[in-house]
Amino acid sequence: MSLTYSKMLALGTKLPSFNLTNVLTGDDFSSDSLSNDSGKVIMFICNHCPYVKAVIKDIVKDTKYLETLGIKSVAIMSNDVKNYPEDSFENMISFSKLHNFSFPYLIDESQQVAKNYGAVCTPDFFGYNNNLELQYRGRIRELKDHKPVTTGDSELRIAMKLVATSGKGPTKQTPSMGCNIKWFD
């Protein structure tokens, strides 16, 4: 595990398209199927990362709340499953069921989608407005010793609520941090 901070891409960057398999249904899921409601959250997570495990309840809770604002969420797993079998397709199904995901959980077997987004860690969050422009590139909330600091709403929730109402994210954004994406050898 190597602690990695997300790269702060330029706000306004357009949402890169993708077409990946949804592990819960076995169907293809395309970025084109995301409706242009109030916004989108694309997150890169995995099953084994202690940083993801620390905030998974917040992720599930926040995505359900954001759905009430018209914001759709999608999780993508891009790790090398050969060397990290805990992140396998079958384990993704178990992980998503265990945590009651209400959003698609997609597998990025080629790792190309993670590269297209500039994702480097898990969890890594990308928040887009209804014009599919990047407006949030931060963390879900502060962590201390792999435990969430749970005072108030999460930074992701606050940022995406602002995106839903104004089309713009906050001016101050703190990078996410977590395990590096496990790239192929």
pLDDT of residue 113: 97
CB of 130 within 8 A of CB of 39? yes
Per residue in 110-158, pLDDT (tens digit) is 999 999 999 999 999 999 999 999 999 988 877 666 666 777 789 999 9
pTM: 0.94
Per residue in 5-48, pLDDT (tens digit) is 777 778 999 999 999 999 999 999 999 888 768 899 999 999 99
Interior CA angle at 149 toward 92 and 181, to 5°? Answer: 35
Residues comprising the chain, all counted:
185
Work out the average pLDDT over 60-86.
96
- Backbone φ and ψ for 42, nearest 5 degrees, come out as -110, 120
* pLDDT of 181 strictly over 60: yes
Confidence of residue 108 (pLDDT cuts 50, 70, 90): very high
pLDDT of residue 65: 96
CA pseudo-torsion sign 121, 163, 18, 57: positive
pLDDT of residue 141: 79
pLDDT of residue 182: 95
